Structure 1
């Protein structure tokens, strides 16, 4: 007999036992749901944080394998000490400028260099804002009213 010709069987409670195709479909759905769950678990933990954590663990594993005694010819330690920057170092400002220039080369979003009128979020013109104030003055009025109230309270308190 073909699967479609097999009559449906029910157990004592009256529930459908389910065909082979139903079981396969249910397994597929469960597998898909499990994959989605694993994917969202990764996202919820933060992909960048997971990457940083694995890098830290790799670094720790590398350090564990190194010898405890350090010598002057230890390349890894010398490289690490070269990369450490101290604030009291006379070259500190130069190194910071150099790093800033390197960051600017890889900067994705433009930065505004000049001065701009203050805004609610102190966002510099560039990526999110072009520097044009398009407000209707509502926020300025609110700030003015709040400042007046504070000034009145101070004058009432003093007199």
Structure 2
């Protein structure tokens, strides 16, 4: 979405439909991405930074941090600004396959579940979106569930 204009759009809990999907364009992971992420997180493990050592390991080359791919993938799905929703967290995060320098990832996000808020069901609800990340070969590299807390439309009071 680099360079894309973001728009603000009100989308309420009632507007989300189970099964709706979003797909992104690709993004190639670069050595600069890995180096920047290592600097930001302090994770300089040789798996990400030492090309010579990794050439002796089963993967054969440096791999991107799982947290880098998670961050990039979630960012790739960020589009419209919705004042009625906020990220509530991530569940069931799985790093399934390594992502290498030069791999291009794409993301599919699908609404799979909705549930009323347990304490304030008239005010908000949870929307679960399964985020699947694949590489250029169509192999799944990461899957997670993104949870949103979304406002419900106010019901008119009958006074």
Provide the TM-score with structure 1 as the length reference: 0.19
- Structure (1/2) with the larger helix percentage: 1
Provide the TM-score with structure 2 as the length reference: 0.19
Whose RCO is larger (CA < 8 A, sep 6+)? 2
- Structure (1/2) with the larger strand percentage: 2
